[in-house]
């Protein structure tokens, strides 16, 4: 095969299919050492990249402007590549079952343009077996080629943490796998061109697929435990953060905190694992319970807001509630599967239409996916309640006085602050008499 040598010498091209929060950093890194084709079906996104704009904020405009990536939405361009990396999203359906349409679609596109001697590597999160049982048949059908003879396949789960400038693609160990020893060696060497932390060679594609869904399921379960504690401690009148801070003084404490669990990984991956487990006749107890708890946190926060409004003598239906943050996590424009939406839905059940502020969020996506018009923070006046839902740096830097300017002209006891992310100094807030609640 020896694709690695040809890629290193820039005699063959790498194609990255799917230029989102995962694919874009990957393509930029590969483009520093090889010729790269960046493919995405979204013509608007390709146009932004060609203009030197990074809508994901993962690599920045300067990196896009200086990269040598050949951006395209024309699938015929993929015929020029020999090493394909699939980095399309794998969401879930309304019934929480895996939605494999994006990865199946990417497989069809690659299959139509696949040539002998190529390697296809999937990075999209899937349950064990999808690469070999779903993707390979599509590649063979579309290409007329035989896997293992005419082309090879591997799997290397993405581990990019959107918005995290410390744990980057290059310094996170990369799990890689191949359908045989030859493909595993080639795929490993190609990733080693850009991964400074090195690679971990999994024994099989299924092991690599499982590792991805399990590592996120593990985090999901641990956060669910903290969320359950938070709900119980709220009834007990105990501050959860104070309990966790005390617990974390022990050397083997895990350091997890309660919160909203959304996004395209932790809030989704466990369902992929659950789907395949149940298909094989095993009904999960721990993972499913954790998912139910985490999916309920938006309602829990919304109900806590209503309680604080009532205790502050507010007319609930007429209350002006301002939510700071819409994205699924801090310092990223990504609103996919944001659980802030569950808070908004919960408030709407009480007749409240909250005002949403998020300087980081993609306003176009907020309107398209959620029909939400984002407001500027400078325009916020006469708020009855401010909800700190996402810990963006811009919100963390705000002082209590900045929040106070957003409230209406009434006493501090009537000003409700909901601190989902524990951003504020609780002692200072309570000392000044605000009506305060933290998760």
Residue 87 shares a structural domain with residue 139: yes
Residue 242 shares a structural domain with residue 181: no
342 contacts 299 by C-beta, under 8 angstroms: yes
Helix (H) or strand (E) holding 82: strand 81-86
Residue 9 shares a structural domain with residue 156: yes
Alpha helices by DSSP H, 130-180: 130, 136-143
Rounded to the nearest integer, the mean pLDDT of the chain is 93
How does residue 264 score in pLDDT terms, banded at 50, 70 and 90? confident
Residue 363 shares a structural domain with residue 421: yes
pLDDT at 143 over 60: yes
- Give the domain extent around 64: 3-203
The residue that leads in pLDDT, 284 or 346, is 346
pLDDT at 192 over 90: yes
Boundary-marking domain end, from 265, 294, 323: 294
Residue 210 shares a structural domain with residue 185: no
Residue 141 shares a structural domain with residue 166: yes
Question: What CATH number did the domain enclosing 356 receive?
Answer: 3.40.50.720
Residue 102 shares a structural domain with residue 231: no
- pLDDT at residue 164 in the model: 61
pLDDT at 436 over 70: yes
- pLDDT at residue 163 in the model: 64
- pLDDT at residue 93 in the model: 87
Instruction: Label residue 242 left, alpha or beta by phi (over 0 means left) and psi (-120 to 50 means alpha).
Output: alpha
The residue that leads in pLDDT, 208 or 2, is 208
pLDDT at 374 over 80: yes
Q: Is the Cα torsion angle 232, 283, 253, 263 positive or negative in sign?
A: negative
Which residues on adjacent β-strands are paired with residue 39? 17, 72
Boundary-marking domain end, from 264, 294, 324: 294
Q: Is 135 a catalytic residue?
A: no
Query: How many domains is the chain partitioned into structurally?
Result: 3
Average pLDDT for 179-184: 95
**CA neighbor of 263 nearest in space, from 133, 417, 390, 412:** 390
- pLDDT at residue 160 in the model: 75
pLDDT at 110 over 70: yes
What are the CA-CA distances from residue 337 to residues 90, 93, 172, 195, 326 (Å)? Answer: 12, 12, 24, 29, 10
Residue 62 shares a structural domain with residue 209: no
- pLDDT at residue 168 in the model: 75
Percent of the chain with pLDDT over 70: 98
Q: Does residue 6 sit in helix, strand or coil?
A: helix
Residue 178 shares a structural domain with residue 66: yes
Residue 321 shares a structural domain with residue 439: yes
Percent of the chain with pLDDT over 90: 81
pLDDT at 165 over 70: no
- DSSP-derived secondary structure letter, 197: T
pLDDT at 94 over 70: yes
pLDDT at 37 over 80: yes
Contacts of 88 (CB under 8 A, 6+ apart): 17, 18, 20, 23, 102, 103, 105, 106, 124
Q: Mind giving me the DSSP string for 334-366?
A: --TT-THHHHHHHHHTTT---EEE-SSS-HHHH
30 contacts 127 by C-beta, under 8 angstroms: no
Residue 46 shares a structural domain with residue 113: yes
Question: What CATH number did the domain enclosing 251 receive?
Answer: 1.10.1040
- pLDDT at residue 56 in the model: 83
pTM: 0.89
Q: Count the neighbouring beta carbons within 10 Å of the beta carbon of residue 221.
A: 18
Q: Does residue 93 sit in helix, strand or coil?
A: coil
- pLDDT at residue 162 in the model: 66
Residue 302 shares a structural domain with residue 357: yes
Of 135, 147, 265, 385, which residue is the catalytic one?
265
Cα atoms in the Cβ-side hemisphere of radius 13 Å centred on 151: 28
288 contacts 220 by C-beta, under 8 angstroms: no
Can you give the C-alpha Rg of the chain in angstroms? 24
Boundary-marking domain end, from 262, 294, 326: 294
């Amino acid at each position: 095969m020896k694709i690695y040598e040809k890629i290193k010498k820039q005699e063959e091209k790498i194609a990255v299919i799917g230029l989102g929060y995962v694919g874009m950093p990957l393509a930029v890194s590969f483009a520093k050492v090889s010729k790269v084709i960046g493919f995405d079906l979204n013509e608007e996104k390709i146009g932004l990249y060609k203009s030197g704009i990074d809508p994901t904020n993962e690599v920045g405009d300067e990196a896009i402007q200086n990269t040598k990536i050949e951006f395209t939405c024309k699938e015929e361009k993929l015929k020029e590549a020999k090493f394909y990396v699939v980095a399309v999203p794998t969401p879930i359906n309304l019934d929480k079952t895996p939605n494999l349409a994006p990865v199946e679609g990417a497989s069809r596109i690659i299959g139509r343009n696949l040539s002998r001697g190529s390697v296809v590597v999937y990075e999209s999160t899937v349950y064990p077996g999808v690469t070999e049982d779903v993707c390979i048949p599509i590649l063979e059908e579309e290409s007329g080629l035989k896997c293992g003879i005419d082309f090879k396949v591997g799997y290397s789960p993405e581990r990019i943490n959107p918005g995290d400038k410390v744990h980057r693609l290059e310094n996170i160990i990369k799990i890689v796998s191949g359908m045989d020893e030859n493909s595993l060696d080639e795929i490993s060497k190609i990733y080693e061109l850009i991964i400074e932390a090195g690679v971990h060679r999994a024994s099989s594609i299924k092991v690599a697929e499982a590792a991805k869904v399990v590592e996120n399921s593990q985090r999901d379960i641990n956060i669910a435990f903290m969320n359950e504690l938070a709900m119980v401690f709220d009834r007990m009148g105990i501050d959860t953060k104070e309990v966790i801070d005390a617990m974390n003084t022990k050397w083997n404490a895990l350091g997890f905190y309660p919160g909203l669990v959304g996004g395209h990984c932790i809030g989704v991956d466990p369902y992929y694992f659950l789907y395949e487990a149940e298909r094989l006749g095993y009904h999960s107890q721990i993972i499913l319970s954790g998912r139910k708890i985490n999916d309920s946190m938006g309602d829990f926060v919304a109900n806590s807001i209503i309680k604080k409004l009532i205790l502050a003598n507010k007319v609930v239906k007429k209350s002006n509630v301002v939510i700071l943050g819409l994205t699924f996590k801090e310092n990223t424009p990504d609103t996919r599967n944001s659980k802030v939406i569950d808070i908004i839905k919960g408030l709407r059940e009480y007749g409240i239409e909250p005002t949403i502020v998020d300087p980081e969020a993609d306003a176009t996506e907020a309107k398209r996916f959620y029909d939400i018009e984002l407001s500027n923070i400078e325009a916020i006046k006469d708020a009855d309640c401010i909800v700190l839902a996402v810990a963006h740096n811009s919100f963390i830097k705000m002082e209590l006085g900045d929040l106070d300017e957003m409230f209406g002209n009434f006493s501090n006891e009537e000003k409700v602050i909901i601190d989902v992310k524990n951003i504020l100094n609780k002692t200072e807030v309570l000392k000044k008499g605000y009506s305060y609640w933290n998760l």
